A and B are shown apart, each in its own frame.
Chain A
Amino acid sequence: MTASRKLLDSFILLAVVALVVGCGQAGESAEPGAAGDGATAATIPGLDVTEDELKYGIGPIRNVELGPLDDALAARGEALFKTKCMACHRMDDRYVGPALRGVTERRTPEFVMNMMLNPGEMVRRHPVARAMLAAHYTEMPAQNLTEEEARALLEYLRAQAAEGQANRGGTTENP
Chain B
Amino acid sequence: MARKIPRPFVLGLVAGAVTAVFAYACRTTGPKGALDGDIASRVYVAPGEYDEFYAFLSGGFSGQVTVYGLPSGRLLKVVPVFSQHAENGWGYSEETKPMLETSFGFVPWDDAHHPQLSKTNGVPDGRWLFINANNTPRVARISLETFETEEIIEIPQSAGNHASPFVTPNSEYVVASTRFSVPVPQRDISIADYKAAFKGTISFIRANAPGEMDIAFQLVVPGYNYDLAHAGKGPSYGWAFFTTYNTEQANTLLEINASQRDKDFVAAVNWRRAEECVAQGRGRDVPVTYAHNYMDETRVARSERKQGVRVLEPADCEGMIYYLPTPKSPHGVDVDPSGEYIVAGGKLATVIPVHSFSKMLAAIEAKDFEGEADGIPVLRYDAVLAGEVQNPGLGPLHTEFDGRGYAYTSAFISSEIVKWKLGTWEVVDRIPTYYSIGHLMIPGGDSEKPWGKYVIALNKITKDRYLPTGPELVHAAQLIDISGERMKLLLDFPTLGEPHYAQALPADLIKDKVVRIYDIQGNRNPYATLSEADARVERRGGTVHVYMTAIRSHFAPDIIEGIRVGDTVKFHVTNLEQDWDVPHGFAAMGVQNAELLIMPGETKTLTWVPKQPGVYPFYCTDFCSALHQEMQGYVRVSPAGANVVLTSNGAGQSRVLASGGGR
The smallest C-beta distance from A55 to any residue of chain B, in angstroms, reads: 26
With A and B bound together, what is the CA distance between A82 and B549 in angstroms? Answer: 12
Does residue B662 face the partner (Cβ distance < 8 Å to A)? yes
Residue of A with least CB distance to B579:
A142
List residues of A (93-142) whose CB comes within 8 Å of B's CBs.
93-96, 135-139, 141-142
What's the Cα separation between A7 and B582 when bound, in Å? 29
Mask for B621-663, Cβ within 8 A of A = 1, else 0? Answer: 0000111000000000000000000000001001010111111
A173 to B410, CA, bound (A): 79
Q: A83-B530, A87-B549, A87-B551 are in contact. Are A93 and B656 (CB under 8 A)?
A: yes
Any chain A CB within 8 A of the CB of B336? no
Residues on A with C-beta less than 8 A from B576 are 83-84, 87
Do residues B626 and A87 form an inter-chain contact, with CB atoms below 8 A? no
Summed over the interface, the residue pairs from A and B with CB atoms below 8 Å come to a total of 79
Contacts of B661 in A (CB 8 A): 3-4, 7, 94, 135-137
B532/A87 in contact, CB under 8 A: yes
Q: In the complex the two chains form, what is the Cα distance from A82 to B556 in whole Å?
A: 14
One of B553, B554, B627, B660 near A2 (C-beta < 8 A) = B660
Q: Cβ of B659: which chain A residues have Cβ within 8 Å of it? A: 3
Q: B662 to A7, Cβ gap below 8 A?
A: yes
Candidates B578, B625, B654; contact of A143 at CB < 8 Å: B578
Pick from A83, A88, A96, A138: contact of B626, CB under 8 Å: A138
- Tell whether, in the assembled complex, residue B533 and residue A86 are in contact, meaning their CB atoms are under 8 Å apart: yes
B517 within 8 A of A: yes
CB <8 Å contact, A138 and B625 = yes
Q: Does A37 contact B (CB under 8 A)?
A: yes
B190 close to chain A: CB less than 8 A: no
CA distance A156 to B434 in the complex (A): 66
- A96:B554 contact, CB within 8 angstroms: yes
> Which residues of B (487-541) have their CB < 8 Å from a CB of A?
517, 519-521, 530-533
State whether the Cβ of A50 lies closer than 8 Å to any Cβ in chain B.
Answer: no
From known contacts A87-B551, A87-B556, infer whether A141 and B577 are also in contact, taking CB-CB under 8 Å. Answer: yes
**Bound Cα distance from A41 to B659, whole angstroms:** 26
Bound together, the chains give a CA A87 to CA B658 distance in angstroms of 19
A4 touches which of B517, B552, B660 (Cβ 8 Å):
B660
Residues of A contacting B654 with CB < 8 Å?
A: 93
Q: B residues 172-216 with Cβ under 8 Å of A?
A: none
Q: How far is the CB of B573 from chain A (nearest CB, A)?
A: 13
Tell whether A141 pairs with B579 under 8 Å between CB atoms, given A3-B659, A82-B530, A87-B532: yes
Query: Please, how many angstroms separate the alpha-carbon atoms of A7 and B521 in the complex?
Result: 33
Cβ of A50 to closest chain B Cβ, rounded Å: 25
Tell me if A6 is interfacial: C-beta within 8 Å of chain B.
Answer: yes
Q: Which residues of A contact B553 (CB under 8 A)?
A: 96, 138
Smallest beta-carbon distance A129→chain B, Å: 15
Q: How far is the CA of A141 from the CA of B149 in the complex (A)?
A: 29
Number of interface residues of A (CB under 8 A): 27
8 A Cβ contacts from A3-61 to B: 3-4, 6-7, 10, 37
Interfacial chain A residues near B656, Cβ < 8 Å: 4, 93-95
Residue among A3, A7, A135 with the most chain B CB within 10 A?
A: A3
CA distance A144 to B394 in the complex (A): 57
Q: Do B579 and A137 have beta carbons less than 8 Å apart?
A: no
Interface string of B613-626 (1 = CB under 8 A from A): 00000000000011
What residues of B have a CB within 8 angstroms of the CB of A83 in the complex?
520-521, 530-531, 576
Contacts of B579 in A (CB 8 A): 141-144
Query: Would you give the shortest CB distance from B219 to chain A, in whole angstroms?
Result: 49
- Binary A-proximity of B575-586 (CB < 8 A = 1, otherwise 0): 011110010000
Complex: A116 Cα to B486 Cα, angstroms: 57
For A143, the chain B residues whose CB sits under 8 A away are 577-579
Q: Quick one: which of A4, A86, A138 contacts B532, CB cutoff 8 A?
A: A86
Q: How far is the CB of A136 from chain B (nearest CB, A)?
A: 8
Bound complex: CA A135 to CA B549 (Å): 24
Nearest CB of chain B from residue A36's CB, rounded to whole Å: 8
- Judging by beta carbons under 8 Å apart, are B660 and A3 in contact? yes
B531 to A144, Cβ gap below 8 A?
no
With both beta carbons as reference points, the residue of chain B lying nearest to A135 in the complex is identified as: B661
- In whole angstroms, how far apart are the Cα atoms of A3 and B625 in the complex? 26
- Cα-based distance from A135 to B237 in the complex (angstroms): 67
A-B contact pairs, 24 of them (CB 8 A): A2-B660, A4-B660, A4-B661, A7-B662, A83-B530, A83-B531, A83-B576, A84-B520, A84-B578, A86-B651, A87-B554, A94-B656, A137-B626, A137-B661, A138-B552, A138-B553, A138-B626, A138-B627, A139-B552, A139-B626, A141-B577, A141-B582, A143-B578, A144-B579
- B→A interface (CB under 8 Å): 517, 519-521, 530-533, 549, 551-554, 556, 576-579, 582, 625-627, 651, 654, 656, 658-663
Given contacts A86-B533, A137-B661, A142-B578, 9 further A-B pairs with CB under 8 A are A2-B660, A3-B659, A83-B521, A84-B578, A86-B651, A87-B576, A94-B656, A94-B660, A141-B579
5 closest Cβ contacts across the A-B interface?
A: A3-B660, A144-B578, A82-B531, A87-B532, A143-B578
